[in-house]
Amino acid sequence: MILDFHPQIRIEKQVFGNERATLLVIDNFVAEPDRLVKKATTAQFASGGRFYPGIRAKAPPSYEHFLATRLQPLLAEHFGFTGGTLRLSMCHYSLVTTPAAELAPMQRIPHVDSLAREGFATIHYLFKGSLGGTAFYRHRATGYESLDEVRGPEYFKALQAESAGPDGPGLHYINGDTPLFERIAQAEGVFNRMLVYRRNSLHSGSIDGSFVPDADPRTGRLSINSFIDPG
């Protein structure tokens, strides 16, 4: 499977929050995105683990190679990345399939993918319905919008205490401001749109109360999620 950038690719750099974090919103990311959806229909999906509210399957090796070899100039221009090579520690098709009432506590609040400052995450939306995008948050008690090894202990201690109190997260996906978190940025889920951001930013999928889980890659909330590290 040969992949290339879409001839009408559009790149927008956004800066959000008090910490002035960077978010790249790339529309028309790849040419022929429907081929990626078709590939997903034959992929072997399995549980996404204790943190992801759905199922996952390995993305095509050609897609992983495409990101590893073609994203470096964008990361250099917009994030100041100075490394010469990229390594993907994850590159998976993802389908949100967990009903809101069955979410684990950590699936109902924003999260970070890593405490390391230098890693990147991408999400490539491959659904065509109105199934929500991705939002970024500030933890009200600490003011943190991102975490690292220094901030982590204070944040998780505060979160543990809050979650046991009256303002703990309810049985639903977070989708906006709550007593514990303030939404500071949001990008809608648009077919063939990719988001690129640092993995230590507090974020979550934006999924509203009308969401109906669907495990069919052709009609469900399909994306490709990747973690990118310096090589």
The CATH number of whichever domain residue 207 belongs to comes to: 2.60.120
- Token reading at 81: 């990345």
In a domain, 203, yes or no: yes
Give domain status of residue 130, yes or no: yes
Domain span including residue 60 = 10-230
Q: Is residue 15 part of a domain?
A: yes
Structure tokens at 19: 């910490």
In a domain, residue 2? The reply is no
Q: What is the pTM of this model?
A: 0.96
pLDDT at residue 59, as a whole number: 98
Q: Specify the number of domains making up the chain.
A: 1
What pLDDT was estimated at residue 83? 76
Does residue 70 sit within a domain?
yes
60-65 contact pairs (CB < 8 A, 24+): 60/1, 60/36, 62/1, 62/2, 62/3, 63/1, 63/3, 63/36, 63/91, 63/224, 64/88, 64/91, 64/226
Instruction: Please give the Cα distance from 159 to 126 (Å, whole number).
Output: 33
Identify any residues that bridge with 114 across adjacent strands, giving them in sequence order.
none
Give the pLDDT of residue 66: 96
In three-state form (DSSP H/G/I as H, E/B as E, the rest C), the secondary structure along the chain is CCCCECCCCEEEEEEECCCCEEEEEEECCECCCHHHHHHHCCCCCEECCCCCCEEEEECCHHHHHHHHHHCHHHHHHHHCCCCCCEEEEEEEEEEECCCHHHCCHHHHCCECCCCCCCCEEEEEECCCCCCCCEEEEEECCCCCCECCCCCHHHHHHHHHHHHCCCCCCCCCCCCCCCCCEEEEEEECCCCCCEEEEECCECEEECCCCCCCCCCCCCCCCEEEEEEEEEC
For residue 50, being part of any structural domain is answered with yes
> Residue 1 domain-assigned?
no
Asked if residue 3 belongs to a domain, the reply is no
- The pLDDT, as a whole number, for residue 50 is 86
- pLDDT tens, per residue, the chain with 231 residues: 889 999 999 999 999 999 999 999 999 999 999 999 999 999 999 999 889 999 999 999 999 999 999 999 999 999 998 877 899 999 999 999 999 999 999 999 999 999 988 899 999 999 999 999 999 999 999 999 999 999 999 999 999 999 888 898 999 999 999 999 999 999 999 999 999 999 999 999 999 999 999 999 999 999 999 999 887
pLDDT reported for residue 160: 94
